[in-house]
Amino acid sequence: MRLSRPVAAVLLVLCAVLVLVLALGQGGWTGDEEPSEATNAAARPTATTPEPTSDGPTSDEPTQEETPAGAAEGEPVGTDTRDWDDIDACADGILPAELDPVVDDIEAGGPYDYGKDGSTFQNREGYLPDESFDYYQEFTVETPGLGHRGAKRVVTGGGEVDPEVWYYTEDHYASFCEFAPVG
């Protein structure tokens, strides 16, 4: 079947528009705004801890970890309280010192350093367990030397002042690990 030139031209333009829409729909941060949760939407790891070795625990039971060596008493530590969510405890040393004041602010119910802190985290990519729309809240963890919010966040779930679960991401929601405030 042979198409006339005007019909072929229209089809070519439609195909070009479709390719453009699909390319723009893949996200991509222009630098004018914060990176969206869709940025880097490829499959992402959810665990940030290494595989257990033969020295580690052999039980599948969730464990409340002791304060790791080098961690001060009262600092957050990696804790896997939800073994069913496929998100592991934060590895020793991954939680930055800048997390402590954020945890304190969350536990106090604010005030927060950034206007978006305490807002609903929508979990669009579904990396965290499915919950009601307003279950998760997000909070900024400062990165020293940056003049903007950076990529580090705490995401809590189940209550603004006394959350049921605490997650940390250092790569703007590309991966998560679980922790618990100690105190």
Domain range for residue 174? 73-183
Query: Is 172 an active-site residue?
Result: yes
Number of domains in the chain: 1
Of 37, 170, 172, 178, the catalytic one is 172
> How far apart are alpha carbons 137 and 122 in whole angstroms?
8
For the record, the structure tokens of 26 come out as 């893949």
Within a domain: 35: no
- E strands along 102-172, which residues? 119-120, 136-140, 153-157, 165-169
Within a domain: 32: no
Predicted confidence (pLDDT) per residue in 133-156, tens digit: 999 999 999 999 988 889 999 999
> How far apart are alpha carbons 21 and 7 in whole angstroms?
21
Q: Residue 161 belongs to a domain with what CATH number?
A: 3.10.450.30
Within a domain: 138: yes
Of 138, 142, 148, 160, the catalytic one is 138
Supply the DSSP string of 13-47, one letter for each residue: HHHHHHHHHHHHHT----SSSPPPTTTT-S-----
Predicted confidence (pLDDT) per residue in 24-58, tens digit: 654 444 344 444 444 333 334 444 434 444 444 44
Which residues, 6 or more positions from 45, have their beta carbon under 8 angstroms from its beta carbon?
A: 175
Q: Which of 74, 83, 98, 73 is nearest to 49 (CA)?
A: 83
Within a domain: 47: no
| Global model pTM greater than 0.85 | no
Query: Is 98 an active-site residue?
Result: no
What value does the mean pLDDT of the chain take?
74
